Chains A and B, each alone.
Chain A
Amino acid sequence: MDALIEIRNLSVGYGQNIVLREVNLTIQKFDFVGVIGPNGGGKTTLLKALLGLLTPLSGEIIFSETMTEGKSHRIGYLPQINHIDRKFPITVFDVVRSGLMSRKRLTGRYSSEENERAGDLINEMGISAIRNKAIGELSGGQIQRTLLCRALVNEPRLLILDEPNTYVDNRFERELYEKLKILNDKLAILLVSHDLGTISTYVKSYACVNSSLHYHTGNKVTPELLKSYECPIQIISHGEIPHTVLYNHKS
């Protein structure tokens, strides 16, 4: 089996408030899962459980051997951009390098090999010009690139992105999705988006999260899927734009 992560009958929540019930999901090697659903439906809760920030109330999350390295899991995490304090006095290079801290002891210093790797990634992402700038001086897209470098620098097997398309312009969004397509050859991706209209066309399967989880292989959107959004808005467009229609939930 190539499963990286197996979620079995997982229920998570905060105190008495159960947000997600009986979730089952398997993430395979080279998967590209789009996690969609209404706000408050539990997308972030699912992420937090995967990242180990929330302890399951019941059920379990099983990580394969390739996913673990010492005590930590090989997950790269790109948080929502508004989660970052932009006034914090730290440079792009230091943010990127900090992605390597999980392999460090408390007093860890970076080796020259690690510095080089961080530098290569920065070049690859096209932000070498701002390498020594403080994050307070960057645009939204530049910060996203920086955070993406931080998520990738420790060579994760799974990359989790939490709504990377908010607060950035369309051009960056397109570039990001192209980048993700290339990365997908090497690692699995879990992309969270509340914005159904602009999720990447490279997504291979969907997980609809609304207090429970429905999994759709293939990339097609159905009225049912849209209904799980409880959204009164229709998407109207003419041809030539790639569309995705998912099959109905059988619940």
Chain B
Amino acid sequence: MENLIALFNFGFFRNAFLAAFIASVTCGIIGTYIVSRRIVFISGGITHASFGGIGMGYYFGFDPIVGAIAFGILSALGIEFFTKRADLREDSAIAMLWSFGMALGVIFIFLTPGYAPNLMSYLFGNILTVSKGDLISLFLLAIFVIGFFVIFYRMIIFVSFDEEFAMTNNAPVRLFNALLISLVALTIVLNIRVVGIILVMSLLTIPQAIANLFTKRFDMMMIWSIAFGFLGSVTGLALSYIYDIPSGASIIFTLVVLYGLIKSIFLLFGKVNLQQKEKGRLRNSVLSQFPPEK
């Protein structure tokens, strides 16, 4: 334990701890949106498409994250546009973008002369090498996401729950869809530095899966997700230090184990509850056969 506390003397560890906290907040909020709207697959497509931007960054010599942001947002809006208007199957469109981005990335990195440094950290992430610049951009994104969700909360829920009904009420459905999917893309890309392309989706879905065991309300789900996301990433970070294993993988591993644990506790104790519910339902259905005379 003392060893773990002593870790805070290292600047890189303080950065990692802060990154874990900020990432949990943004991923908690944006992930709840992703899960509620069932756009996990779309988000996966955006994640992988952004690898094309990383490859271009290496080849043309600019910051790969800038390329990833551009690719992420463009593919997000592209999916939003093509599946709503063009006559293309949504999942096929996503699969195409998904692999096209990866292919572009591979081609550009292959064409870049010499060794591509840090390539692994984009694929698997490394929270321990998070820089001050990364922290600042993560922080700014968190502020923006929190602000956006606090100010427009009702409209976000309105547009997300029943798009068609929102349209009949003249709500700016298209604008909000586009804004929100861009925020999803930004969140994904900036968190690539933390857990990497391959693992980032789990930071956006596992805390929500755990939260969903406790609550079925959007606002509470965001808060629980943030809490479990933070718990998972800090525990994962500690495990990564103790056992000397990659941090991204140990964070995701911890989160899945956490989900498994809580879910099995619910199953064990929920069973009694379910049986009682079933009894009640049976009684009601029998009663409904004999409605009281008026």
Residues from chain B with Cβ under 8 Å of A51 in the complex? 167-168
> Is B162's CB under 8 angstroms from A89's CB?
no
Which of B154, B164, B217 meets A101, CB within 8 Å?
Answer: B154
> Is B171's CB under 8 angstroms from A84's CB?
no
> Is A89's CB under 8 angstroms from B158's CB?
no
Which of A75, A85, A95, A108 meets B155, CB within 8 Å?
Answer: A108
Which of A85, A88, A108, A150 meets B154, CB within 8 Å?
Answer: A108
Task: Name the interface size band of chain B.
Answer: 20 to 34
Residues from chain B with Cβ under 8 Å of A65 in the complex? none
Which of A88, A98, A107 meets B151, CB within 8 Å?
Answer: A107
Which of A71, A77, A90 meets B157, CB within 8 Å?
Answer: A90
* Cα-based distance from A169 to B161 in the complex (angstroms): 25
Q: Kindly state whether residue A238 has any CB partner on chain B within 8 Å.
A: no
Which of B152, B161, B216 meets A98, CB within 8 Å?
Answer: B161
B283 CB to nearest chain A CB (Å) = 15
Q: What's the dominant secondary structure at chain B's contact region?
A: helix
> Is B154's CB under 8 angstroms from A109's CB?
yes
Residue ID in chain A nearest B159 by CB atoms: A101
> Is B155's CB under 8 angstroms from A72's CB?
no
B146 CB to nearest chain A CB (Å) = 15
Residues from chain B with Cβ under 8 Å of A109 in the complex? 154
Residues from chain B with Cβ under 8 Å of A136 in the complex? 216
Residue ID in chain A nearest B215 by CB atoms: A89
> Is A90's CB under 8 angstroms from B218's CB?
yes
Residue ID in chain A nearest B176 by CB atoms: A106
| Given A90-B157, A98-B157, A77:B170 Cβ within 8 A | no
Q: Kindly state whether residue A250 has any CB partner on chain B within 8 Å.
A: no
B33 CB to nearest chain A CB (Å) = 11
> Is A84's CB under 8 angstroms from B162's CB?
yes
> Is B161's CB under 8 angstroms from A85's CB?
yes
Contact with A along B84-106 (1 / 0, CB 8 A): 00000000000000000000000
* Cα-based distance from A75 to B158 in the complex (angstroms): 17
> Is B167's CB under 8 angstroms from A89's CB?
no
> Is A71's CB under 8 angstroms from B170's CB?
yes
B209 CB to nearest chain A CB (Å) = 12
* Cα-based distance from A217 to B278 in the complex (angstroms): 48
A105 CB to nearest chain B CB (Å) = 9
Residues from chain A with Cβ under 8 Å of B168 in the complex? 51-53, 75, 77
> Is A89's CB under 8 angstroms from B36's CB?
yes
Residues from chain B with Cβ under 8 Å of A79 in the complex? 162, 164-165
* Cα-based distance from A95 to B165 in the complex (angstroms): 11
Q: Kindly state whether residue A196 has any CB partner on chain B within 8 Å.
A: no
Q: Kindly state whether residue A25 has any CB partner on chain B within 8 Å.
A: no
Q: Kindly state whether residue B212 has any CB partner on chain A within 8 Å.
A: yes
A146 CB to nearest chain B CB (Å) = 12
* Cα-based distance from A10 to B164 in the complex (angstroms): 22
Q: Kindly state whether residue A155 has any CB partner on chain B within 8 Å.
A: no
| Given A79-B162, A84-B162, A89-B216, A102:B171 Cβ within 8 A | yes
| Given A89-B36, A171-B291, A94:B216 Cβ within 8 A | no
Count chain A CB atoms within 10 A of each CB in B160, B165, B170, B217 and give the residue with the most: B165
A89 CB to nearest chain B CB (Å) = 5
A79 CB to nearest chain B CB (Å) = 6
Q: Kindly state whether residue B271 has any CB partner on chain A within 8 Å.
A: no
> Is B152's CB under 8 angstroms from A107's CB?
yes
Residues from chain B with Cβ under 8 Å of A98 in the complex? 154, 157-158, 161-162, 165
B182 CB to nearest chain A CB (Å) = 17
Contact with A along B163-203 (1 / 0, CB 8 A): 01111111110000000000000000000000000000000
Q: Kindly state whether residue B221 has any CB partner on chain A within 8 Å.
A: yes
Q: Kindly state whether residue B279 has any CB partner on chain A within 8 Å.
A: no
11 CB contacts below 8 A, A to B, read A77-B168, A85-B38, A88-B218, A89-B32, A89-B36, A90-B218, A94-B157, A98-B154, A98-B157, A106-B155, A107-B152
B-contacting residues of A (Cβ < 8 Å)?
A: 51-53, 71-72, 75, 77, 79, 83-85, 88-91, 94-95, 98, 101-102, 104, 106-110, 134, 136-137, 150, 169, 171
Given contacts A83-B164, A136-B216, 17 further A-B contacts (CB under 8 A): A51-B168, A75-B168, A77-B168, A83-B162, A85-B38, A89-B32, A89-B220, A90-B157, A95-B161, A101-B158, A101-B169, A104-B154, A106-B172, A107-B155, A108-B155, A110-B154, A134-B217
Listed from nearest, the 10 A-B pairs whose CB atoms lie closest are A134-B216, A102-B169, A51-B168, A89-B218, A72-B170, A101-B158, A89-B216, A98-B158, A89-B221, A88-B161
